[in-house]
């Protein structure tokens, strides 16, 4: 089966920032994304867990999107400007998809 190279952008941010990240993706006509709750993790600041949180403050969410390689910079530049002032991580990796026109 033929596959096509695309880029997967993964964004980890605190839940209160999600609406701003999704608005940014919508403004750049990113055709799809998925928002997932992050349950627990470990970073430079040590381990964390979602249990016991009251409200969205401190809750971490992952947003995953796949885009064409030609669009990566137009998405990453404003995303970096937003996330660099907040708690968050952005990663980009190569992926293979079977439906080229969906991304």
Cα separation of 32 and 102, whole Å? 8
Look up the domain containing 22 and give its range: 4-102
pLDDT at residue 93, as a whole number: 97
Residue 20 maps to which CATH number?
A: 3.30.70.120
Total number of domains constituting the chain: 1
pLDDT at residue 58, as a whole number: 64
Model's pTM, two decimal places?
0.84
Q: Is the dihedral of CA 86, 36, 27, 77 positive or negative?
A: positive
- Residue 24 near residue 87 (C-beta atoms within 8 A): no
pLDDT at residue 52, as a whole number: 57
pLDDT at residue 71, as a whole number: 95
Mean pLDDT by runs of 10 across the 103 residues of the chain is 96 92 96 89 71 63 96 95 86 95 82
pLDDT at residue 54, as a whole number: 52
């Amino acid at each position: 089966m033929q596959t096509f190279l695309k880029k997967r952008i993964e964004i980890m941010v605190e839940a209160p920032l999600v609406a701003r990240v999704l608005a940014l993706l919508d403004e750049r006509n990113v055709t799809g994304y998925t928002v997932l709750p992050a349950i627990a993790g470990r970073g430079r600041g040590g381990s964390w867990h979602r249990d016991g949180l009251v409200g969205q403050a401190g809750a971490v969410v992952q947003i995953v999107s796949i885009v064409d390689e030609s669009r990566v910079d137009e998405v990453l530049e404003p995303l970096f400007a937003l996330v660099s002032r907040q708690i968050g991580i952005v990663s980009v990796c190569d992926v293979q998809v079977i439906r080229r026109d969906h991304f």
